[in-house]
Amino acid sequence: MTPANLAATVLSAARAVFETRGLDVSALPETTTVERPRNPEHGDYASTLALQLGKKAGVAPRELATALAAELGRQPGIKSVEIAGPGFLNIRVDAAAVGILARDIVTAGANYGHTDTLHGDRINLEFVSANPTGPVHIGGVRWAAVGDALSRLLRAAGATVGTEYYFNDAGSQIDRFAKSLYASAKGEPAPEDGYGGAYIAEIATAVRAEAPDVLELGEPEALETFRRVGVDLMFAEIKQSLDEFGVHFDVYFNEKDLHERGELQEALDRLRAQGHIFEADGATWLRTTEFGDDKDRVLRKSDGDWTYFAADCAYYLDKRERGFDRVVIMLGADHHGYIGRMKAMSACFGDDPERNLEILIGQLVNLVRDGEPVRMSKRAGTVVTLEDFVDALGVDATRYALARYSSDSPINLDIAVWTKAGNDNPVYYVQYVAARTANVARNAAEVGLTKDGKFDPSLLVHEKENDLLKALGEYPEVVARAAELREPHHVARYLEEVAGAYHRFYDKCRVLPQGDEPITDLQRARLWLNDATRTVIANGLGLLGVSAPERM
């Protein structure tokens, strides 16, 4: 019995009580929850439903709790119900009803934890979207880990998800990139507003390898070659880095396509039809102040050039017209001021900004060695890159570490902690359980202990077995909550709780027979519990894009 199953049973009992007493069933909520009490002496789970419904029903909460307790006591799997305080329900569940969960989890396998809480939602999730003017830097690395984990979470919660990388291949930053490559190829220093680092020299050399006569061209033609070939080479490197990091996108969207397909003009026409466009000082403006923005925004400048914001409008409209009802964009901390204008733009299109557009802001992250931030990249010169991160921590530790914290919190990741083979390293602590459960299963097979034959869940009565089972039963709710809140870190913290519960179970509850001991039904039941733990750990790590090793 999972917490969700029990919560549904509590709600069903409440409906029966209401119908029997002739109370208004419309006062009942669509869903309710149960919680694990901090003090195990108060039962396995607690419900506050009687307290919540008493006033609405016109019945004293404790009187309602008494009726609920009686109804719940008749439900299969409920051992006892006690009333505490003004109307708290403390519920104890039969061992067999809890223990059966071990078999249910193993049977469900990779699907355990999947829900339909977001079924029907069509979500476009854009993340990383680093400019193709250099390697993915430390901020982009955080979004790569968190964004990919979030896409997995949303799908596990039943949403239809399209992941997207917005490729800024138009604009002044690309001009500066091309000029920097051109200068490097000629052996000159980078322009004052250009890009530095060893990678510029590498890309410039690669461009010359593809276009050997590039320096013999006139400057405009040479710059265009460095722009075209250099951007392609840089973006190919970015995609390869992300691929090696385990991050893949459904769509790589080129900003240049918006210009070439006339989508900026289409967006402008749509906004004009909505009545939010005005002309001033020779420029075309969007009246975003009508929807809470701090100032109106220029879409087309007086010289006829489009602004970046115009491309943002066209890109948003493109996503919506592709059938996505919710557009989620992940941005760095330096883009916090972007939220107001984007929300206003959504409203200008006639959308509901709270429903159709979400902007998630990620705070800064530092890689720390010996207490000091690692600030310089060997290739990029001024920033820490994805490759630097992986070289320092490895893919699994990097992904887990970055997904373990709320994105709106700055973090410092200590290289010494995240590379240590010990319980102080959270990813090691969790992966060790994955390996230990696999090892137990291998050893069980060697001595002839299998899950075949009788499975008696009522034998799993030890306190540590019960604690582990209750922890495993919470996984579907954790996944659903993390997806709804857009916060993958809930999964990581949950996995660490499960790991602790498993270690305590392993220390107190022997799974394998010793010597010539005969195999017992209790050991067989414990093997189911061991394998259920492996399933949950592997599923949870999979949502974070982290491996669940069979050996360590």
Each residue's pLDDT tens digit, 511-526: 999 988 999 999 999 9
Task: Give whole-number Cα distances, 21 to 59, 115, 132, 391, in Å.
Answer: 10, 34, 67, 67
DSSP per residue over 85-139, as a string?
A: TTTEEEEEE-HHHHHHHHHHHHHHGGGTT---TTTT-EEEEE-----TTSS-BHH
**93-98: long-range pairs with CB below 8 Å, 24+:** 93/1, 93/6, 93/44, 93/45, 94/458, 95/457, 95/458, 95/459, 95/460, 95/461, 95/466, 96/456, 96/457, 96/458, 97/1, 97/457, 98/1, 98/44, 98/457, 98/460, 98/466, 98/469, 98/470, 98/473
Run of H or E residues at 286: strand 283-286
Confidence of residue 138 (pLDDT cuts 50, 70, 90): confident
Strand partners, 369: 372
Q: What predicted TM-score, i.e. pTM, was given to this entire model?
A: 0.91
Amino acid of residue 354 = E
Buried b (16+ CB within 10 A) or exposed e, 256-291: bebbeeebbebbbebbeeeebbeeeeebbbbbbeeb
HEC secondary structure over 309-344: HHHHHHHHHHHHHCCCCEEEEEEEHHHCCHHHHHHH
Which of the 8 DSSP states describes residue 307? P
Q: What percent of the chain has pLDDT over 70?
A: 99
Q: In angstroms, rounded to a whole number, what is the distance separating the alpha carbons of residues 467 and 458?
A: 15
How much is the average pLDDT of 257-265? 95
How many whole angstroms separate alpha carbon 365 and alpha carbon 407? 10
Distance CA 309, CA 294 (A): 15
Residue 185 · residue 207 · CB < 8 Å: yes
Tell me how far the alpha carbon of residue 190 is from its chain's centroid. Answer: 39
pLDDT of residue 492: 98
DSSP category for residue 43:
-
Higher local confidence (pLDDT), 217 or 370: 217
CA–CA distance, 472 with 460 (Å, rounded to integer):
14
Q: What is the pLDDT, as a whole number, of residue 261?
A: 96
pLDDT on residue 126:
98
The three-state secondary structure class of 197 is coil
386, 389, 392, 395 alpha-carbon torsion, rounded to 10°: -80
Helix, strand or coil, per DSSP, at residue 483: helix
SS3 149: helix
Burial class for 79, CB neighbours closer than 10 Å (0-12, 13-18, 19+):
middle
Band of pLDDT at residue 47, cut at 50, 70 and 90 = very high
Q: Which amino acid is at 465?
A: E
CA 468 and chain centroid, separation? 24
Contact at 8 Å (CB) between 223 and 235?
A: no
Name the band, by pLDDT with cuts 50, 70 and 90, for residue 42: confident
Span 135-141, average pLDDT? 88
Q: Kindly state the average pLDDT of the residues 5-14.
A: 92
**Inter-residue contact 521 to 410 (CB < 8 Å):** no
Please give the average per-residue pLDDT across 471-487, as a whole number. 97
CA-closest candidate to residue 254, choices 331, 130, 328, 170: 170
**Per-residue confidence band for 143, with pLDDT thresholds at 50, 70 and 90:** very high
Q: Per-residue pLDDT for 378 more than 90?
A: no
Measured between alpha carbons, how far is 160 from 154 in angstroms, rounded to an integer? 8
Residue type, 219: E
Quick one: average pLDDT of 51-67? 92
Cite the DSSP H helix spans in 474-512: 475-485, 489-508
Q: Minimum mean pLDDT among 36-40, 132-136, 154-158, 505-509: which range?
A: 36-40
Could you give the CA distance from residue 2 to residue 97 in angstroms, rounded to a whole number? 9
Q: What's residue 194's pLDDT?
A: 87
Statement: residue 185 has pLDDT above 90? yes
Rounded to whole angstroms, how far apart are CA atoms 288 and 335? 17
